[in-house]
Amino acid sequence: MRAQKPLAADPRERILFFFSISLALLLFLPPTNAHAGQFTVSPIRLNFDQKNRSGVVHVLNEEKEVLQVQMKAYVWTQDAEGKDQYAETDDLLFFPKLATINPNQERIIRVGIKQPSKNKEETYRLFVEEIPRKDKVQEQTQIRVAIRLGVPIFVSPAHHQVLGHVAQMTLMDGKLHLAVQNQGNTHFIIESILIRGTNPSGEAHFSKELSGWYLLTGSKRAYATDIPREICLSTSVFDVEVKTSEFVLNEKLNVDQNLCAP
């Protein structure tokens, strides 16, 4: 059973902004401390469509020293398990590809698409990555931490179809399994998944919340959570509520106690 209702856009989407840090070792000697560059990127995402085909990204150097960054564009997809996958692409136009930014100064990166999407949303990430520099004074004692920020870029199709489904909800090996599937032609964000268990009297006695992430068009993400045997044996129904950036999905599972953990 599925039920969907619209939701207003939620500013908490900001917490989903992709942030990854890679370590670059400058010496073979064991380091005694680490140093990280600091910069910010805005906006946290870009949205393009048939009419709006370009935009800008602002990179602000918050350090007291000169910052060097490089930009790379990637196609952003998700595999069969919903994990993010990236492959370099030339679908995006951006300039510059390398930039030197003085302390407390900002650099604008201009970004555009070669052609708009047709039948489904196209998704990319523009990564802004610090180029580590050697510190001549402290190079014997430090490692350099390079910051890498990825800006999501969504290229919308002419016609949107936002559709989701909760699938594969089962009890197995002491776990409740379920999957959320994107059946539409544009992405949505899984903000939370709330699992509730009720006993035969209709009283709620189990509750657990799982976090989410972007779910791209055509993708499916599987979830599993432990259900203790004593909870499982006293539960008649598990209800699942999936809150997304676009709608709410509901599904339920009648418990077969023979499938509870031994």
| Residue 112 belongs to domain with CATH number | 2.60.40.10
Q: Are residues 87 and 105 in the same domain?
A: yes
Q: Are residues 47 and 108 in the same domain?
A: yes
Q: Are residues 75 and 131 in the same domain?
A: yes
Q: Are residues 135 and 195 in the same domain?
A: no
pLDDT for the residue numbered 135: 59
User: How buried is 137 (Cβ within 10 angstroms: 0-12 exposed, 13-18 middle, 19+ buried)?
Assistant: exposed
Look at residue 116 and tell me if it is in a domain. Answer: yes
Q: Residue-wise over 15-44: b if at least 16 C-beta within 10 A, else e?
A: ebebeeeeeeebeeeebeeeeebebebeeb
Q: Are residues 105 and 139 in the same domain?
A: yes
Look at residue 4 and tell me if it is in a domain. Answer: no
Q: What residues of the chain score a pLDDT lower than 70?
A: 1-37, 134-145
Look at residue 84 and tell me if it is in a domain. Answer: yes
- pLDDT tens digits, one per residue of 173-219: 899 999 999 999 999 999 999 999 999 998 999 999 999 999 999 99
Q: Domain count of the chain? A: 2
Q: Are residues 78 and 193 in the same domain?
A: no
State both tokens at 48.
């393009």
pLDDT for the residue numbered 14: 43
Domain boundary, last residue among 155, 189, 222:
155
Q: Which domain holds residue 39?
A: 13-155
> At residue 228, what are phi and psi to the nearest 5 degrees?
-55, 150
Q: Are residues 149 and 179 in the same domain?
A: no
Look at residue 262 and tell me if it is in a domain. Answer: no
- Dihedral (C-alpha) 229, 233, 239, 245: value to the nearest 10 degrees? 0
DSSP 30: P
pLDDT for the residue numbered 3: 40
Q: Are residues 85 and 204 in the same domain?
A: no
- 221 DSSP β-pair partners: 180
Domain boundary, last residue among 136, 155, 174:
155
H or E element, residue 233: helix 229-233
Q: Are residues 151 and 196 in the same domain?
A: no
pLDDT for the residue numbered 180: 97
17-23, long-range: CB within 8 Å, 24+ apart, which pairs?
A: 17/44, 17/45, 17/149, 17/152, 18/125, 18/149, 18/150, 18/152, 19/149, 19/150, 20/148, 20/149, 20/150, 21/145, 21/146, 21/147, 21/148, 22/146, 22/148, 23/143, 23/144, 23/145, 23/146
Look at residue 5 and tell me if it is in a domain. Answer: no
pLDDT for the residue numbered 83: 92
Q: Are residues 23 and 65 in the same domain?
A: yes
Q: Are residues 107 and 146 in the same domain?
A: yes
pLDDT for the residue numbered 38: 87
State both tokens at 110.
């201009």
pLDDT for the residue numbered 25: 30
pLDDT for the residue numbered 118: 83
Domain boundary, last residue among 155, 175, 195:
155
Q: Are residues 126 and 173 in the same domain?
A: no
Shortest CA distance to 193 belongs to which of 215, 212, 206, 176?
Answer: 212
Q: What is the pTM of this model?
A: 0.80
